[in-house]
Amino acid sequence: MGISDWPVDQRPRERLIKYGASALSDAELLAVFLRVGVKGKSAVDLGRDMLAQYGSLSALFAASAKDFSKIHGLGDAKYAQIHAVLELAKRAISEDLRICENLSSPNTVKNYLQLLIGNKPHESFAVLFLDIKNRLIKTEELFRGTLNHASVYPREVVKAALLHNAASIILAHNHPSGSCEPSQADLALTNTLKQALALVDIRVLDHFIIANPNVYSFAEHGQI
């Protein structure tokens, strides 16, 4: 039975309009995105297949175009569409950060970083450069590495911060392995960067470790 044959109050699109997107399951949200299913499967069934194939939304979003197209009913067009939606979400949150005074919504920063680097299959180290009012100037991925390691050079971080005339910065990197607990190397690197940047009067406000769906904040744990 196709979704168009379902009772109106059970159809994902109608439920989203009436109750809001948060009322829908992951599979239902994917169904709204997909719009139609394939022969023998509704869009909700296809959404469930996608989640079963990858295990999570994060893994689904991190899939390559080739892997994404392995599911019957998906292809380059849907891959392009879903990544266009993700990029729009990143840019919308980035706009909020640019006009946000004093980063009054830490969750906005976390959501932005989850979208920015949370789904990458390799370790990525990003820096948010902030002005004197703690508004976002620019975000840059300065270093990238393998599944579990990225080499970070303090000199390059200081150089980039001075180039953007930043008054403070926020550090972030992901753990593709899935654990957001900081390693001793993470703690040592944070202290090294904090000391190096202090020499040029630039503060390190926080360091986030992203391991979707979890986020670890050094500041929240008293480690900045």
Asked if the bond preceding 154 is cis, omega within 30° of 0, the reply is no
How confident is the prediction along the chain (224 residues), in pLDDT tens digits per residue? 578 778 888 899 999 999 999 899 999 999 999 888 888 889 999 999 999 988 888 788 888 889 888 888 888 998 999 989 888 888 887 776 666 655 556 787 888 888 888 888 888 999 999 999 888 899 999 988 754 556 889 999 999 999 999 999 999 999 987 788 999 999 999 999 999 999 999 999 999 999 988 899 999 999 98
Element containing residue 29 per DSSP (H, E): helix 26-34
pLDDT of amino acid 106: 72
Record the tokens describing residue 48, joined without a space: 């469930």
CA distance 17 to 95: 25
**Residue 192 · residue 155 · CB < 8 Å:** no
Taking Cα atoms as reference points, which of 146, 134, 125, 128 lies closest to residue 189? 125
Report the SS3 class of residue 167: coil
Record the tokens describing residue 42, joined without a space: 């509704």
pTM for this entry: 0.67
Helix intervals (H) in 75-207: 76-99, 106-117, 154-163, 184-198
pLDDT of amino acid 37: 85
Tens-place pLDDT, residues 114-160? 888 888 888 899 999 999 988 889 999 998 875 455 688 999 999 99
